[in-house]
Structure 1
């Protein structure tokens, strides 16, 4: 079996977009992966996928280690960033092809599953509804009472944990706080508003969800100043937060934050590979290490999970886009003995279920293990935009 062509597709999803890669073969089989990343800064990722993908046309996708070694050789002068993510896109599509050629799930190629279902948490709780309202696709969240009702819905639908984001409340309702928005978090009045809103958001969700639902807060890269981070951690801990999640490439930032607050710290989702991951584990700087199998590729993600296990750390899988991405994350969650929980977007655009041939099945807060060949989930080309680019 040889790769004959690479195609990329795109589908608008409200104020975001989902991107997909498909490898075609002379055996008539196809392999898919997702790289919905252009809202996270990788605006040229599709170009890198095609540029590197041209080098694997004609190769056997089942020889995944060979393909991986070849691609890393091709990017040796610029081995990180978009190039590394493009390698991940191609390797993930090769794994899907390999598994489909054997009529087995991808996790069968990774040693087999260690669990029959996967604990998941309701991610972007509140943030998704704000985004949907911004796109005219849903009702806005206007007050803490609306968040309280959402927390109650999370509990009533059987989920045991949720994650929210850095939200604020204004005259027009709730909004997403980000350093890309007007205003500065260095303003002392704005700083006080951030802390007040964090306490209000966590408190509202806690009142609705009750005492037995875990609550996580993800601030991404939006707060970098150590003093404000420490104040936020103290406020969040007092409000009953279970973990504070932030992105950083600087281990020392977590070292300074972790000791005084006593709050569990989650991080590492934007790190690439074992070499970037290891310093956070060696220093015991992160309680909840997060791994993204879309950005790292499944082979390296498994290595990262194994590295975390050496430090007795339980991982979380990062996941934020279409159902295909959820299924891809589920295969890492299936084979990692040291899994804590998997991220899952429970809500999305109304047409989300039309984009793939299946959706995650969740019972009592646990996603059922995919059983179909490959990822167990295939994008429906009729629901995707026309081919953006073809490489042969």
Structure 2
């Protein structure tokens, strides 16, 4: 069996562009993967196509060989978009390998340790603030105008059976909510990477309201992204200690800084979602920087992510996938989670455009706050190309 073609397909996802890679073989089998082509200002499509020229002619069932070969060709410009392009090809090949063997991908990773994976509602309430024009203007959801409106989304999550929620800082000024910039999007103040004392007080008020809304037995997480330097992250961690967070999520490229935060905060720390490859994870895991190691299977590839998860397990560290978008991405993540011995829980963005579920022939199923692990070959789904064409990408 040989790879003969790699195609990038896109569709309007409301909040974003949904991007898929279709890899075709000379025996008629097709593999799919989802990737982020709109997460960075630079386009990923051209990099995928450039790397796919090396993969064409190779056997897609030899997933590790393809992944390592493509990564070797990027050594002078490793990580970032190069790694993400390799991951898209790797993940599509995993789908083919599973279909060729008649097995789910999680069996190729060693077999499932669980048939359900606990998921948490990510960006709970906060994204309805950040994308009000979509949620209120297009979907007709009630606007967020008060703290009670904001935490009402958390109550909704608990009512639907979710046992954990994660949110982002939201500040109210003159009756209007403001989503605090994560430090990686151009916006006023995004270079400051700091929080005023007044904002810290508002954040404590927000997270206290969330804790009251979800109760003491539901996991509560806060995602700061890259918005803080070391001192700011520590100030926030210490202020929120009484709320018994499941974790405080914080990103930094500095392993020593993250280790310092973890050693001096009595709040569990989750991080590392922006890293690429096991070699980037090594200094962070060796320095005991996190309680939960976050791994992005769309950026690293599911096969490579399974290696990173096992490496984290050697340091007595739990893992959780970074999975902020996409139904196919969720299925890719759930296969990884099913086979990971050190799983903490899985991220799931519940607030998505309702029509994107039509893009998959078999979308993921969530029951009682847990995603069911597919038992059919490959990822357990296909892509409906007619549904993609029915939702063309809108002009920027």
TM-score by length of 1: 0.92
The verdict on how the C-alpha distance between 1:375 and 1:266 changes in structure 2, with shifts beyond 3 A counting, is same
CA contact 2:166–2:222 (8 Å) conserved in 1: yes
Partner of residue 181, structure 1: 187
The verdict on how the C-alpha distance between 1:357 and 1:172 changes in structure 2, with shifts beyond 3 A counting, is farther
- Write the distance in 1 (CA, Å) between the matches of 2:65 and 2:295: 23
Partner of residue 23, structure 2: 23
1:43 equivalent in alignment to 2:4 = no
Q: Which runs of 4+ in 1 moved over 4 A?
A: 184-188, 385-388
The verdict on how the C-alpha distance between 1:129 and 1:281 changes in structure 2, with shifts beyond 3 A counting, is same
Partner of residue 267, structure 1: 271
CA deviations on 1:220-257 (whole Å, 9 max, x unpaired) are: 11222x22222111222234433110111211121222
Q: What pairs with 1:1-392 in structure 2 (closer than 5 Å)?
A: 1-39=1-39, 41=40, 43-135=42-134, 136-137=137-138, 138-171=141-174, 173-178=176-181, 179=183, 180-183=186-189, 186=192, 191-224=196-229, 226-385=230-389
- Which structure 1 segments of 5+ residues have no match? none
- Write the distance in 1 (CA, Å) between the matches of 2:68 and 2:101: 23
CA contact 1:2–1:59 (8 Å) conserved in 2: yes
1:141 partner SS = coil
CA contact 2:124–2:167 (8 Å) conserved in 1: yes
1:386 Cα shift?
Answer: 9.1
- Write the distance in 2 (CA, Å) between the matches of 1:316 and 1:3: 31
- Write the distance in 2 (CA, Å) between the matches of 1:354 and 1:259: 46
1:150 partner SS = helix
- Write the distance in 1 (CA, Å) between the matches of 2:342 and 2:366: 21
1:121 Cα shift?
Answer: 1.0
Instruction: Give the stretch that moved more between structures: 175-184 or 112-121.
Output: 175-184
- Write the distance in 2 (CA, Å) between the matches of 1:91 and 1:200: 44
TM-score by length of 2: 0.91
1:37 Cα shift?
Answer: 4.2
1:352 partner SS = helix
1:38 Cα shift?
Answer: 2.0
- Write the distance in 2 (CA, Å) between the matches of 1:187 and 1:72: 33
| RMSD between superposed Cα atoms in Å | 2.1
- Write the distance in 2 (CA, Å) between the matches of 1:209 and 1:37: 34
CA contact 2:47–2:82 (8 Å) conserved in 1: yes
The verdict on how the C-alpha distance between 1:175 and 1:18 changes in structure 2, with shifts beyond 3 A counting, is farther
1:339 partner SS = coil
